[in-house]
């Protein structure tokens, strides 16, 4: 009887061992559950181009939702229009400029191997950029022979501007704003009313008309469009002149395209070149290069007109669809592709 009852109800020692076993199993399944969850989280993490990766801070967290209503954003909280090319407001703006006479400049830097992009850029701009308007393309280049021999209409012109050879991209990103300010001060300000600055590794694929003209014009970065403020890769290093305090800022703007009245672009370029110089003196350059300084400036001087990502788009896992892609960044698109897909896109 004692023997049976002994085997049915465990001794104190056996009871402790079973409890330990149970607890160990529980802990193990907890660890497995955590690791599986973490893996799924990493798998779902969007791919980041080197340009937009700012480390742990500034990247979207799991559960971040893109605010889809942003597609209907037509005006900011400070009443600056957000431009969608096919909207009735854009049509109205184009109508407003139809009877005005003005000249617009378009600055691109073309140094070293970037000369390969120039022909495509200009040919596509001739087709789609402010058609019928008077344009000067200011080509800031270290190689005058890279200027394509194109016959342009009478009121559109290619104007090479020589800059010294720059062996490294990193160096160019430090001096581009000051070269721009210098060029505006020296020549451009006397020649054009509006001025836009663009990266040359882009292509116009649909019309970009006078709806883009404004006093100070910035373009919404397509990868951060609709994401919450804390995901923006603003500069996080406090000592930097590009530093943005937590909670500061409105939107994240791309450096692929910005512009406005010549005087406004000069003020922007001059201020950014000062910030860059001050940081350089401390041996620092902001995380997103010029884009960081541009964003800092645009927090202090809010743009009067914002271009939607129709005007700066590239295909990446993080960009939202837009009604019409008008300007595509070939360089950033390549940067966002997986290595195996680069070849098919001719990167």
Among 48, 114, 258, 297, binds ligand UDP (CB under 6 A): 114
Residue 4 annotated as binding? Answer: no
Residue 111 interacting with ligand UDP (CB under 6 A): yes
Considering the complex, what minimum distance in angstroms separates the CB of residue 332 from ligand UDP? 5
Residue 114 annotated as binding? Answer: yes
Of the candidates 307, 135, 136, the one whose C-alpha atom is nearest the C-alpha of residue 214 is 307
Q: What residues does 257 pair with on adjacent strands?
A: 198
Q: 260 in the Ramachandran plot: left (φ > 0), alpha (ψ -120 to 50) or beta?
A: left
Residue 201 interacting with ligand UDP (CB under 6 A): yes
108 vs 337, beta carbon nearer ligand UDP = 108
Q: What residues does 243 pair with on adjacent strands?
A: 235
Residue 163 interacting with ligand UDP (CB under 6 A): no
Of the candidates 172, 294, 168, the one whose C-alpha atom is nearest the C-alpha of residue 241 is 294
Phi, psi of 221 (to 5 degrees): -70, 125
E-only strand ranges, the chain: 82-83, 103-110, 134-141, 156-162, 194-198, 202-204, 216-220, 253-261, 305-307, 327-329
Binding letters toward ligand UDP, positions 312-331, x by CB under 6 A: -------------------x
Residue 80 interacting with ligand UDP (CB under 6 A): no
Using CA atoms, how far residue 208 sits from 100, 131, 213, in Å, is: 17, 8, 10
Residue 235 annotated as binding? Answer: no
163 vs 244, beta carbon nearer ligand UDP = 163
From 8-16, 65-73, 196-204, 228-236, span contacting ligand UDP (CB under 6 A) = 196-204
Residue 221 interacting with ligand UDP (CB under 6 A): no
Closest residue to ligand UDP, Cβ-based?
A: 199
Residues 166-185 that bind ligand UDP (CB under 6 A): 169, 172
d(CA 69, CA 108): 34
110 vs 322, beta carbon nearer ligand UDP = 110
**Start-to-end Cα distance in the chain:** 84
Q: What residues does 195 pair with on adjacent strands?
A: 105, 260
Residue 160 interacting with ligand UDP (CB under 6 A): no
Catalytic positions, written as ranges: 291
Residue 301 annotated as binding? Answer: no
| Residues in CB range of 77: below 8 A, 6 or more apart | 250
53 vs 86, beta carbon nearer ligand UDP = 53
Annotated binding site for UDP-N-acetyl-alpha-D-galactosamine: which residue ranges?
Answer: 114, 199-201
Which residues here bind ligand UDP, judged by CB under 6 A?
51, 108-112, 114, 169, 172, 199-201, 255, 331-332
């Amino acid at each position: 009887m004692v023997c049976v009852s002994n085997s049915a109800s465990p001794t104190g020692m056996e009871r402790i061992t079973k409890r330990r076993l149970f607890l160990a199993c529980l802990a193990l399944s907890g660890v497995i559950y955590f690791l599986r969850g973490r893996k799924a989280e990493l798998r779902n993490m969007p791919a980041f181009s080197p340009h937009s990766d700012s480390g742990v801070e500034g990247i979207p967290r799991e559960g971040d939702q893109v605010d889809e209503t942003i597609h209907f954003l037509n005006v900011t909280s400070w009443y600056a229009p957000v431009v969608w090319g096919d909207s009735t407001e854009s049509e109205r703006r184009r109508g407003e400029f139809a009877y005005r006479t003005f000249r617009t400049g378009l600055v691109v830097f073309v140094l070293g191997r970037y000369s390969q992009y120039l022909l495509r850029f200009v040919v596509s701009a001739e087709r789609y950029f402010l058609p019928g308007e008077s344009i000067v393309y200011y080509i800031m280049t270290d190689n005058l022979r890279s200027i394509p021999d194109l016959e342009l209409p009478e009121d559109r012109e290619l104007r090479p501007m020589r800059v010294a050879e720059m062996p490294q991209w990193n160096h160019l990103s430090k001096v581009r704003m000051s070269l721009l300010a210098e060029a505006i001060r020296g020549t451009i300000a006397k020649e054009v009313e509006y001025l836009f600055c663009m990266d040359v590794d882009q292509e116009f694929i649909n019309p970009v008309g006078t709806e883009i003209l404004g006093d100070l014009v910035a373009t919404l970065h397509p990868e951060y469009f609709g994401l919450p403020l804390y995901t923006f890769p603003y500069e996080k290093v406090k000592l930097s002149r590009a530093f943005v305090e937590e909670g500061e800022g409105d939107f994240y703007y791309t450096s692929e395209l910005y512009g406005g009245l010549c005087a406004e672009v000069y003020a922007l370029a001059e201020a950014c070149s000062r910030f860059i110089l001050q940081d350089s003196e401390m041996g620092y350059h902001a995380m997103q290069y010029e884009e960081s300084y541009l964003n800092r400036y645009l927090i202090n001087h809010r743009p009067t007109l914002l271009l939607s990502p129709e005007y700066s788009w590239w295909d990446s896992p993080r960009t939202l669809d837009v009604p019409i892609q008008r300007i595509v960044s070939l360089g950033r698109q390549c940067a966002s592709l997986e290595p195996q897909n680069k070849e098919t896109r001719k990167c």
